[in-house]
Amino acid sequence: SPTENFYDAVGGEDTFRRVVARFYVEVAADELLRPMYPEEDLGPAEDRLRLFLMQYWGGPHTYSDQRGHPRLRMRHQPFTIGPNERDAWLRCMRVAVDSAGLSDAHRARLWQYLEMAANSMLNSWV
């Protein structure tokens, strides 16, 4: 329907659960990214990213209920994010998004946002 938002149009929570779970399978195997995650268990980080993306695309506001305003640039300050980290993050996300079975238009819209967001998280030139 014309009023349906992106979250519903792509399949709601199930779709975001699949994408973010696959993303963290890739992160767990990435030698640059894996050591950046403070916790041994990636499960809580997976929950936070999934809930953020669900909220961003028009789903429930559980992320902000639990974490407050996203302020993502500030929350990434403890981590050195240069071009290599950004590229690794986007590589993992590319695998995840490409395996989600989205329509071309939905995949393109989601990808455009993720590339923009990843670039906005850069806080180092090395």
Site for ligand HEM, rule CB under 6 A: 33, 36-38, 45, 48-49, 52, 67, 72, 75-76, 79, 81, 85-86, 89, 117-118, 121
Residue reference for tokens 């902000």: 64
Nearer to ligand HEM, 9 or 117 (CB): 117
Reported as half-sphere exposure (CB side, CA atoms, 13 A), residue 48 has a value of: 14
Q: Residue 94 CB, nearest distance to ligand HEM (Å)?
A: 12
Nearer to ligand HEM, 8 or 67 (CB): 67
Nearer to ligand HEM, 3 or 5 (CB): 5
Beta-carbon contacts of residue 68 (< 8 Å; ≥ 6 apart): none
Token pair recorded at residue 48? 């936070």
Q: Residue 87 CB, nearest distance to ligand HEM (Å)?
A: 9
**Backbone Cα Rg of the chain:** 14
Nearer to ligand HEM, 25 or 121 (CB): 121
DSSP assignment of 2-55: TT--HHHHTTHHHHHHHHHHHHHHHHHT-TTTGGG-SSS--HHHHHHHHHHHHH
Q: Residue 114 CB, nearest distance to ligand HEM (Å)?
A: 6
Q: Residue 73 CB, nearest distance to ligand HEM (Å)?
A: 10
